[in-house]
Amino acid sequence: MLATISHNNNEFKIDLSKPIDISLPLSNTDQNPIAWYIEKPEIEPVRFGDWVGKVSEGSSSTNFNNIFFNPHGHGTHTECLGHITRDFYSINQCLKQFFFTAEVISVLPQSDGEDYVIVKAQIEKALQEKSPEAIIIRTLPNSAEKTSKKYSNTNWAYLLEEAATFIRESEIKHLLIDLPSVDKEHDEGKLLAHKAFWNVKDVNNLNSDARMNCTITELIYVEDQIVDGSYILNLQIASFENDASPSKPILYKIM
Protein backbone atom coordinates (compact mmCIF):
# COMPACT_ATOMS: atom_id res chain seq x y z
CA MET A 1 0.00 0.00 0.00
CA LEU A 2 1.69 3.16 -1.20
CA ALA A 3 1.28 6.43 0.68
CA THR A 4 2.53 9.96 0.22
CA ILE A 5 3.47 11.87 3.35
CA SER A 6 3.62 15.65 3.20
CA HIS A 7 6.05 16.87 5.81
CA ASN A 8 7.76 20.26 6.23
CA ASN A 9 6.90 21.24 2.66
CA ASN A 10 8.35 17.99 1.31
CA GLU A 11 6.61 14.90 0.02
CA PHE A 12 7.81 11.36 0.73
CA LYS A 13 6.48 8.17 -0.82
CA ILE A 14 6.50 5.07 1.38
CA ASP A 15 5.05 1.57 1.19
CA LEU A 16 2.89 1.02 4.29
CA SER A 17 2.81 -2.72 3.58
CA LYS A 18 6.56 -2.96 4.27
CA PRO A 19 7.16 -1.74 7.84
CA ILE A 20 10.59 -2.25 9.38
CA ASP A 21 10.17 -2.91 13.09
CA ILE A 22 13.20 -1.93 15.20
CA SER A 23 11.62 -2.64 18.58
CA LEU A 24 12.29 -5.55 20.92
CA PRO A 25 9.28 -7.58 22.11
CA LEU A 26 8.47 -7.83 25.81
CA SER A 27 7.96 -11.33 27.18
CA ASN A 28 8.09 -13.22 30.45
CA THR A 29 10.80 -15.53 29.15
CA ASP A 30 14.56 -15.67 29.66
CA GLN A 31 14.91 -14.28 26.12
CA ASN A 32 13.70 -10.86 27.28
CA PRO A 33 16.56 -8.33 27.45
CA ILE A 34 17.09 -6.85 30.91
CA ALA A 35 18.92 -3.84 32.29
CA TRP A 36 19.11 -1.99 35.60
CA TYR A 37 19.35 -4.99 37.95
CA ILE A 38 15.73 -6.14 37.78
CA GLU A 39 14.17 -9.50 36.99
CA LYS A 40 12.32 -10.46 33.82
CA PRO A 41 8.75 -9.16 33.25
CA GLU A 42 5.80 -10.98 34.77
CA ILE A 43 2.78 -11.89 32.64
CA GLU A 44 0.29 -13.92 34.63
CA PRO A 45 -3.46 -14.61 34.46
CA VAL A 46 -5.72 -12.93 36.98
CA ARG A 47 -6.90 -15.28 39.71
CA PHE A 48 -10.09 -15.00 41.80
CA GLY A 49 -10.26 -18.06 44.03
CA ASP A 50 -10.64 -21.07 41.72
CA TRP A 51 -11.19 -18.87 38.68
CA VAL A 52 -8.15 -18.35 36.44
CA GLY A 53 -8.14 -15.90 33.55
CA LYS A 54 -6.72 -18.38 31.07
CA VAL A 55 -8.79 -20.22 28.47
CA SER A 56 -6.48 -23.24 28.40
CA GLU A 57 -7.13 -23.86 32.09
CA GLY A 58 -10.87 -24.18 31.49
CA SER A 59 -12.34 -21.69 33.96
CA SER A 60 -12.39 -18.63 31.69
CA SER A 61 -13.78 -17.78 28.28
CA THR A 62 -11.00 -15.18 27.80
CA ASN A 63 -7.31 -14.74 28.45
CA PHE A 64 -7.05 -12.03 31.10
CA ASN A 65 -3.48 -11.26 32.14
CA ASN A 66 -1.79 -8.87 34.52
CA ILE A 67 1.57 -7.55 33.33
CA PHE A 68 4.32 -6.25 35.60
CA PHE A 69 7.25 -4.65 33.84
CA ASN A 70 9.60 -1.68 33.88
CA PRO A 71 9.76 0.33 30.63
CA HIS A 72 13.37 1.40 31.19
CA GLY A 73 14.72 -2.05 31.97
CA HIS A 74 12.64 -4.50 29.97
CA GLY A 75 12.79 -3.53 26.32
CA THR A 76 12.36 -0.81 23.74
CA HIS A 77 11.08 2.36 25.38
CA THR A 78 10.73 6.05 24.63
CA GLU A 79 11.30 8.66 27.31
CA CYS A 80 10.86 12.41 27.69
CA LEU A 81 12.85 14.84 29.83
CA GLY A 82 10.60 13.92 32.75
CA HIS A 83 12.92 10.96 33.15
CA ILE A 84 15.51 13.20 34.83
CA THR A 85 13.57 16.18 36.25
CA ARG A 86 12.22 16.81 39.74
CA ASP A 87 8.86 17.92 38.33
CA PHE A 88 6.66 15.43 36.52
CA TYR A 89 6.51 15.43 32.74
CA SER A 90 4.73 12.71 30.77
CA ILE A 91 5.85 11.13 27.51
CA ASN A 92 2.17 11.01 26.57
CA GLN A 93 2.00 14.82 26.77
CA CYS A 94 5.44 15.59 25.31
CA LEU A 95 5.18 13.42 22.19
CA LYS A 96 2.28 14.62 20.06
CA GLN A 97 3.55 13.91 16.54
CA PHE A 98 4.59 10.47 15.37
CA PHE A 99 6.06 10.61 11.84
CA PHE A 100 9.57 11.96 11.31
CA THR A 101 12.38 12.01 8.81
CA ALA A 102 15.11 9.76 10.15
CA GLU A 103 18.66 8.69 9.45
CA VAL A 104 20.05 5.25 10.36
CA ILE A 105 23.76 5.31 11.12
CA SER A 106 26.17 2.60 12.26
CA VAL A 107 28.91 3.46 14.75
CA LEU A 108 31.75 1.43 16.25
CA PRO A 109 32.30 2.83 19.78
CA GLN A 110 35.87 3.85 20.51
CA SER A 111 37.96 2.49 23.35
CA ASP A 112 38.47 5.01 26.17
CA GLY A 113 40.26 3.39 29.10
CA GLU A 114 37.86 0.78 30.47
CA ASP A 115 34.94 2.27 28.52
CA TYR A 116 33.69 2.32 24.95
CA VAL A 117 32.29 5.65 23.83
CA ILE A 118 30.60 7.31 20.86
CA VAL A 119 32.18 10.66 20.08
CA LYS A 120 30.98 13.74 18.24
CA ALA A 121 33.21 13.19 15.21
CA GLN A 122 31.64 9.78 14.57
CA ILE A 123 28.09 11.18 14.59
CA GLU A 124 29.11 14.16 12.46
CA LYS A 125 30.81 11.96 9.87
CA ALA A 126 27.94 9.49 9.67
CA LEU A 127 25.30 12.20 9.19
CA GLN A 128 27.17 13.73 6.24
CA GLU A 129 25.59 17.14 6.87
CA LYS A 130 22.06 15.72 6.72
CA SER A 131 19.51 17.22 9.09
CA PRO A 132 16.88 14.59 9.93
CA GLU A 133 14.36 14.94 12.73
CA ALA A 134 15.42 11.59 14.19
CA ILE A 135 18.69 9.70 14.40
CA ILE A 136 18.84 5.93 14.82
CA ILE A 137 22.21 4.72 16.12
CA ARG A 138 23.19 1.10 15.51
CA THR A 139 26.31 0.20 17.49
CA LEU A 140 28.87 -2.22 16.11
CA PRO A 141 29.42 -5.10 16.31
CA ASN A 142 25.72 -5.80 15.82
CA SER A 143 25.28 -9.22 17.39
CA ALA A 144 21.82 -10.78 17.68
CA GLU A 145 22.75 -11.20 21.34
CA LYS A 146 21.31 -7.71 21.79
CA THR A 147 17.79 -9.10 21.54
CA SER A 148 18.13 -11.04 24.80
CA LYS A 149 21.18 -9.58 26.52
CA LYS A 150 21.36 -9.14 30.30
CA TYR A 151 22.98 -5.70 30.47
CA SER A 152 23.29 -5.17 34.21
CA ASN A 153 26.89 -4.53 35.29
CA THR A 154 28.28 -4.86 31.74
CA ASN A 155 29.48 -1.24 31.39
CA TRP A 156 27.85 -0.80 27.98
CA ALA A 157 29.06 1.75 25.43
CA TYR A 158 27.61 5.25 25.72
CA LEU A 159 27.43 8.69 24.14
CA LEU A 160 29.90 11.31 25.24
CA GLU A 161 28.35 14.63 26.26
CA GLU A 162 29.92 16.27 23.19
CA ALA A 163 28.11 13.81 20.91
CA ALA A 164 24.73 14.43 22.55
CA THR A 165 25.34 18.18 22.37
CA PHE A 166 26.11 17.92 18.66
CA ILE A 167 22.88 15.97 18.08
CA ARG A 168 20.93 18.68 19.91
CA GLU A 169 22.68 21.48 18.03
CA SER A 170 21.87 19.67 14.78
CA GLU A 171 18.19 20.18 15.75
CA ILE A 172 17.55 16.45 15.84
CA LYS A 173 14.48 15.95 18.02
CA HIS A 174 14.44 12.20 18.48
CA LEU A 175 17.41 10.04 19.42
CA LEU A 176 17.14 6.25 19.14
CA ILE A 177 19.90 3.84 20.18
CA ASP A 178 20.35 0.09 20.68
CA LEU A 179 21.74 0.40 24.22
CA PRO A 180 19.96 0.51 27.61
CA SER A 181 20.98 4.16 28.04
CA VAL A 182 22.70 6.95 26.17
CA ASP A 183 24.76 7.40 29.35
CA LYS A 184 27.37 5.30 31.13
CA GLU A 185 25.90 2.59 33.37
CA HIS A 186 27.67 3.73 36.53
CA ASP A 187 28.08 7.50 36.16
CA GLU A 188 27.35 8.77 39.69
CA GLY A 189 24.02 10.16 38.49
CA LYS A 190 25.60 12.71 36.16
CA LEU A 191 23.48 11.74 33.12
CA LEU A 192 25.54 14.03 30.93
CA ALA A 193 24.21 12.81 27.58
CA HIS A 194 20.57 12.94 28.69
CA LYS A 195 21.01 16.48 29.99
CA ALA A 196 22.91 17.64 26.91
CA PHE A 197 20.34 16.23 24.47
CA TRP A 198 17.35 17.69 26.32
CA ASN A 199 19.24 20.89 27.19
CA VAL A 200 18.37 20.44 30.85
CA LYS A 201 20.63 22.69 32.91
CA ASP A 202 19.06 22.14 36.33
CA VAL A 203 16.88 19.11 37.04
CA ASN A 204 15.36 20.88 40.06
CA ASN A 205 14.39 24.07 38.23
CA LEU A 206 13.75 23.43 34.55
CA ASN A 207 15.08 26.08 32.18
CA SER A 208 12.67 27.63 29.68
CA ASP A 209 14.65 26.41 26.67
CA ALA A 210 14.69 22.76 27.70
CA ARG A 211 13.56 20.50 24.86
CA MET A 212 10.09 19.46 25.99
CA ASN A 213 9.02 17.79 22.74
CA CYS A 214 12.18 15.74 22.19
CA THR A 215 12.59 12.07 23.03
CA ILE A 216 15.19 9.39 23.64
CA THR A 217 14.39 5.81 22.67
CA GLU A 218 16.62 3.06 24.04
CA LEU A 219 16.99 -0.70 23.60
CA ILE A 220 16.04 -0.84 19.95
CA TYR A 221 17.49 -3.46 17.59
CA VAL A 222 18.44 -2.59 14.00
CA GLU A 223 19.03 -5.78 12.06
CA ASP A 224 22.02 -6.01 9.71
CA GLN A 225 19.90 -6.05 6.56
CA ILE A 226 18.61 -2.55 7.37
CA VAL A 227 21.05 -0.36 5.49
CA ASP A 228 22.30 2.99 6.73
CA GLY A 229 20.46 5.90 5.17
CA SER A 230 17.27 7.93 5.15
CA TYR A 231 13.85 6.65 6.24
CA ILE A 232 10.51 7.78 7.57
CA LEU A 233 10.09 6.90 11.24
CA ASN A 234 6.75 6.18 12.89
CA LEU A 235 7.42 6.41 16.63
CA GLN A 236 4.59 4.62 18.41
CA ILE A 237 4.04 4.67 22.18
CA ALA A 238 1.40 3.48 24.58
CA SER A 239 -0.56 6.30 26.24
CA PHE A 240 1.10 6.05 29.63
CA GLU A 241 1.12 9.16 31.84
CA ASN A 242 4.69 8.38 32.84
CA ASP A 243 8.15 9.64 32.01
CA ALA A 244 8.55 6.69 29.63
CA SER A 245 6.47 4.21 27.68
CA PRO A 246 7.20 0.94 25.94
CA SER A 247 7.41 1.84 22.28
CA LYS A 248 7.40 0.43 18.78
CA PRO A 249 9.50 2.48 16.37
CA ILE A 250 8.77 1.54 12.76
CA LEU A 251 10.87 2.56 9.76
CA TYR A 252 9.70 2.93 6.16
CA LYS A 253 11.99 3.12 3.16
CA ILE A 254 11.63 6.29 1.14
CA MET A 255 10.77 5.40 -2.45
pLDDT at 121: 98
Using alpha carbons, select from 71, 63, 70, 160 the residue that is nearest to residue 109. Answer: 160
Instruction: Answer whether CATH 3.50.30.50 is correct for domain 2-33+71-253.
Output: yes
How far is residue 210 from each of residues 98, 141, 149, 198, 202, measured CA to CA in Å? 20, 34, 33, 6, 10
pLDDT at 83: 98
pLDDT at 173: 98
139-150: average pLDDT: 97
Amino acid at 119: V
pLDDT at 8: 77
Question: Is the pLDDT confidence value at 4 over 90?
Answer: no
Distance of alpha carbon 97 from its chain centroid, rounded? 16
59-84: average pLDDT: 97
The residues spanned by each domain of the chain are 2-33+71-253
Using alpha carbons, select from 174, 182, 28 the residue that is nearest to residue 98. Answer: 174
pTM above threshold 0.85: yes
> What is the rounded CA–CA span in Å between residue 235 and residue 190?
27
Using alpha carbons, select from 71, 23, 64, 68 the residue that is nearest to residue 41. Answer: 68
